[in-house]
Amino acid sequence: MQRIDGQLVMSPRDLIAELECSHRLHLDWAVAVGKLDRPKRVVNPMLDLLAQIGRQHEEDLSEPLESGGTFVQIENESHSLESYQRSFAETQKAMSQGIDVIAQATLFSGDFVGFVDFLILSRDERNRPVKDSAGRFIYDPVDAKSARSAKEAAILQVTSYAYMLEQLGMPRPRYVYLWLAGDQEWSASTDEELGIAGESLIRTREKLNGFSDLPNPIWAPPTAGCSTCTWIEHCKSGREDAQDLSLIYDIRMKARTAFIDVGIHTMHDLAFAADHQRPQQMTPATFQKLRAQAHLQVRGLSSENILFEAINANHLSLMPEPSPGDVWFDIEGDPFAYDGEGLEYMLGVLSQSAGAPSEFVFKTFDARDREEEGRSFTDFMQWIIARRRQYPDMHIYHYAPYEKTALNKLARIHGVMEKEVSKLLAEDVLVDLYSITRKSFRFSTPSMSIKYVEQVYQGKRVKGDGVVDALGSVVEFELALSALNAGDDMEFERRLQSIREYNKVDCESTKELDMWLRDRAMELGINSWS
């Protein structure tokens, strides 16, 4: 959204904001009219990576289009009325000439501007250009998205282009398209979709016309769109200052709304709420669980340490007997590799040294491409099989379901070790410590990520210059591949080593959690391991 010469100019981004989070639309409006400063850009390597992947996807699509027929690229020099009008006129000219593909086509109505990745000349079954009753060429809008499926926001964006083409007096498109990753395509008839875009535009205009001051409160509860929002830190800070209910671990937005409706607005309110304040539609068990969690988190605010308390310690009896052959396991995966099919690029394991029981050995099985992924997975499985022969009572400990899912996926994709993976799962060799921990304890943290939970047994991780979280691992791997593609093998290995060090810390943390859970079990008299 912009304000140019006193006129608010919307874009598809504003329609998406209205769809995903009206609060974001309100804040963007406040910036446009000068009531609020634009938030400072927070360095986010993951968003930068996604933007880079998106640009590359669009470039990859452009290359064959440029050589496959007539092709025009519309240039937009600046964010000004004159520039928009000029680019729109160039778009209209190209459409009147029947150009096969118009890239970055500009649509401008005075209060709405959109830049279409591609306008493609509509053709019939015999590949002849289609014209309307007035003899004008018909164009269909295409948006390039690097995701593998059509998201609601992306559909709204491309449909808004089709709607604006008709509103601007140009021929109504026949179809709208999303060109997705992995050569996937989504399409729909405009007869089905234009009404949705029109209603969205009307709602957005009405909301913008209804804004007069800053939103109160200035922040909003989290939504699915927060991860890519420029206001993420702004709202996060506001929620923390207000001790908003959304900070309570495992609370649902429906429960948050129910609490607010009965006058419970903060974690403190809920922590000390009486039984009679329970929302009518909420079960007593859910109310008591969330109240106890809120109470622990409120206590944790004034504590230097993470607090915890047992909720059903009998689940600790699910811990197997320890074995000198036990393995602590963590996988690093890149969900963006191979057009969103993903790549498991590092399988890390920590195990007890055979020669020195008090020492532990860490190793990884690495891959840089699909072929190496198959080999590293096979090598890992052969290593596990050999270890099981030596230690039949061994188990593989991990945190959260990702590792089980990934092993199944690797066996299926590469068509190897399928029976062996099934055997590991059927014999309960893999032990998910997240499931046991979550069912046994509650913590004074807003999340059950191991980065939070581990603070009770090894303190808070010190952030250094290397990889510090899973998203950072993905970014580091993509940068490592870029170095490799540029012929810089030393830089590739340096970045890969940084990922190994991070993976080792996660494996070590998983082992420490294993030990911590056993200690708690003995304290509670659940079991006694030698």
Provide DSSP, 78-121. SSSHHHHHHHHHHHHHHHHTT-SEEEEEEEE-SSBEEEEEEEEE
156-192 tens-digit pLDDT: 999 999 999 999 999 999 999 999 988 889 999 999 8
Report whether 344 contacts 331 (CB < 8 A): yes
Report whether 159 contacts 197 (CB < 8 A): yes
Residue 462 has pLDDT above 80, yes or no: no
Q: Please tell me whether residue 266 adopts helix, strand or coil conformation.
A: strand
Residue 43 has pLDDT above 80, yes or no: no
Report the pLDDT averaged over residues 10-36: 96
| DSSP 3-state percent helix, strand, coil across the chain (nearest 5) | 50, 15, 30
Q: Which of 184, 78, 174 is nearest to 121 (CA)?
A: 174
- Structural domains in the chain plus CATH codes: 2-210 (3.90.320), 243-301 (1.10.150), 315-523 (3.30.420)
- For strands 113-121 and 139-144, give the pairing: antiparallel
CA atoms within 13 A on the CB side of 23: 18
Q: Which of 186, 203, 197 is nearest to 162 (CA)?
A: 197
385-430 tens-digit pLDDT: 999 999 999 999 999 999 999 999 999 999 999 999 999 999 999 9
Amino acid at 91: T
Rounded to the nearest integer, the mean pLDDT of the chain is: 93
With a pLDDT cut of 90, the percent of the chain lying above it is 80
Residue 460 has pLDDT above 90, yes or no: no
Helix or strand (DSSP H, E) at 494: helix 489-523
Cβ partners under 8 Å of residue 154, min gap 6: 143, 145, 147, 178
Residue 491, pLDDT score? 92
d(CA 123, CA 116): 19
67-91 tens-digit pLDDT: 888 999 999 878 899 999 999 999 9
What is the DSSP secondary structure assignment for residue 180, as one 8-state letter? -
What are the CA-CA distances from residue 446 to residues 226, 248, 257, 300, 406 (Å)?
16, 6, 18, 11, 26
299-333 tens-digit pLDDT: 999 999 999 999 998 999 999 999 999 999 999 99
What are the CA-CA distances from residue 316 to residues 320, 321, 338, 426, 458 (Å)?
9, 11, 40, 20, 20
- For strands 430-432 and 396-398, give the pairing: parallel
How does residue 463 score in pLDDT terms, banded at 50, 70 and 90? low
Residue 469, pLDDT score? 86
Report the pLDDT averaged over residues 450-475: 83
268: buried, middle or exposed (CB in 10 Å: 19+, 13-18, 0-12)?
Answer: middle
d(CA 246, CA 266): 9
pTM for the model stands at 0.86
Cβ partners under 8 Å of residue 494, min gap 6: none
Report the pLDDT averaged over residues 462-466: 66
Cβ partners under 8 Å of residue 280, min gap 6: none
Residue 465, pLDDT score? 63
Q: Please tell me whether residue 362 adopts helix, strand or coil conformation.
A: strand
Residue 471, pLDDT score? 85
203-249 tens-digit pLDDT: 999 999 999 999 999 999 999 889 889 999 999 999 999 999 999 99
